[in-house]
Structure 1
Amino acid sequence: MTHSEGHDSQPTARTTLPLFPLHTVALPGVHLPLHIFEPRYRQLTIDLVTEVVPERLFGVAAIRNPTIDEVDELAHVHAVGCAVRLREARRLPDGRFDIVTTGHRRFRLLELDTESAPYLRATVTWLDDEPLPVGSEETVARLADVGRAAHRRYCSVAWQSGGWQSPPQDTEPALLAYLLASDCLLPLADRQELLEERNPLRRLRLAHRLLTREATFVSELRAVPPPQHEIPETLLRPNLN
């Protein structure tokens, strides 16, 4: 059965991706480790490793309601998701996989195909950022500085071990907000808002606001969450096993 969103009027070219609905939000440029145990997603992993799926890309869409166990219609997931690329796959003796993916590019869901493959497939259009305004370099630099400062404040109170790093100085403005926010244990709704924001300046402002808020919460509650994207070095090697 194929379900259609039915209200997309953009002339953007469509493409088809395998779709993995999750109770989390994938962000461009951010690592997302996954433990694969369901048979259909084991098959997806095999198809990614063997490049049956082009470019080792699949889509991740956040499930709207935590009580939903089976996604079979568009209303069950957020309309904007992120394609991720498989970087590493480690097969376990019982057939499960531990994999690492990296967020690649945002998309809007148009149709959901529940029949043509063992796993879900989706028809999507890509979503790109609005262009930065001419002469916005100073604004970008200022927002990057305050965003990095908020990131340092959050990490200094949330990670008592000090085992965190700021994003590289040459990080593109379009990716910086995602990387700053990836170290923070944000609610799904906040991560989804970041994903859907297509204006890089507003996204940096949003990341600053969220990090500042969360740093205050952590300080007041004296709770120390673990790093969300702490991935062993062995899983970040470029070759698939």
Structure 2
Amino acid sequence: MTAVTVSLPLFPLGAVLFPGLVLPLNVFEERYRALVRDLLALPADGPRQFGVVAIRDGHEVAPSGPGTADTGPAAGFGPDLDRALYPVGCVADVASVQEQSGGGYELVATGTTRFRVLSVDASGPYLVGEVEMLPEEPGTGAGALTSAVDRAFRGYQKLLAGARERTLAAPQELPDRPSVLSYLVAAAMVVEVPVKQRLLECADTAARLAEELALLRRETALIGKLPSLPAVELTRQRTNRN
């Protein structure tokens, strides 16, 4: 089967987007304002999409000092984009855009499909990638793993709520579709970006669920042994900035 490749505007973030998850963004840098303006110029009845790719070092930092300026998307990453960005990202489908008084945008998008970056063009106002869409394969044993991950995730949530000294909300119904559950758990776990990226890159749903089951058991054991661990250590998240 021939791989499907498309050209897609890229939005690098210090976080990982998963299919099915909602992404709110406060767009204030000019390079990404230009991206949003170009999306808004597309027909309203068609898709308005961009690709979210995680930054390896967690934050995009524009250069500073004499003779430097934020003149393009590559300015914040240095000459080797391949080393600055992870190779697998997620398509973000724009649901709503609100223009702000200062010229920025409040944007809400939803993750849809994973992709692999084949090449990056940094010649324009923002990065544009030639990307290959990745199918979601079930793998072997995804159905059996679903119930185990469901149970482990509920136990993890209960212990995490206790460590945060919060009351656990009434149990909510978790999705029974293996792929949907795998992405929800990946997004909800309090782990670092490289771990989330590894989950995004898993070859299939079964591999992702197996990885999550091991992580949930490990994290649950850690939280259980360290009940006095400060909540800030458990809830530390990198802020999405552009």
Query: For this structure pair, what is the TM-score category when the shorter chain's length is used for normalisation?
Result: 0.7 to 0.9
Q: CA deviation at 1:16?
A: 0.4
Contact 1:181 1:211 in 2 (8 A): no
Q: Which consecutive residues of structure 2, in runs of 5 or more, have no partner in the other structure?
A: 62-75, 238-242
Aligned to 2:122: 114
User: Corresponding residue for 1:84?
Assistant: 92
Structure 1 position 123 matched with structure 2 position 130: yes
- CA shift for structure 1 position 110: 1.0
Partner residue of 2:168 out of 152, 155, 162? 162
Matched-pair identity in %: 32
Give the structure 2 partner of residue 75 of structure 1.
83
Decide whether the 8 Å contact of 1:20 with 1:61 is kept in 2.
yes
Partner of 1:195: 200
> Could you tell me whether the CA contact under 8 Å between 1:18 and 1:58 is conserved in 2?
yes
Look up the match of 1:48. Answer: 39
2:97 aligned partner, one-letter code: A
Distance (Å, rounded) in 1 between the aligned partners of 2:170 and 2:17? 20
1:146 equivalent in alignment to 2:137: no
What's the secondary structure of 1:209's corresponding residue?
Answer: helix
Is there any run of 5+ residues in structure 1 with no aligned partner, and where?
Answer: 1-9, 134-138, 229-241
**Matches of 2:203 and 2:3, distance apart in 1:** 16
Alignment check: 8 A CA contact 1:34 1:99 kept: yes
CA contact (8 A) 1:152 1:166 kept: no
Greater shift after overlay, 204-213 or 21-30?
204-213
Report Cα offsets for 1:88-139 as digits up to 9, x if no partner.
22332212222222111111111111124x2111101111133545xxxxx4
Deviation at 1:179? Answer: 0.4
Q: What SS does the aligned partner of 2:103 have? A: coil
- Kept in 1: contact 2:5–2:131 (CA 8 A): yes
**Displacement of 1:205:** 1.1
Q: d(CA) in 1 for partners of 2:154 and 2:106? A: 30
Q: Is 2:150–2:174's contact at 8 Å kept on the other side of the alignment?
A: no
Q: 2:185 aligns with which of 180, 185, 199?
A: 180
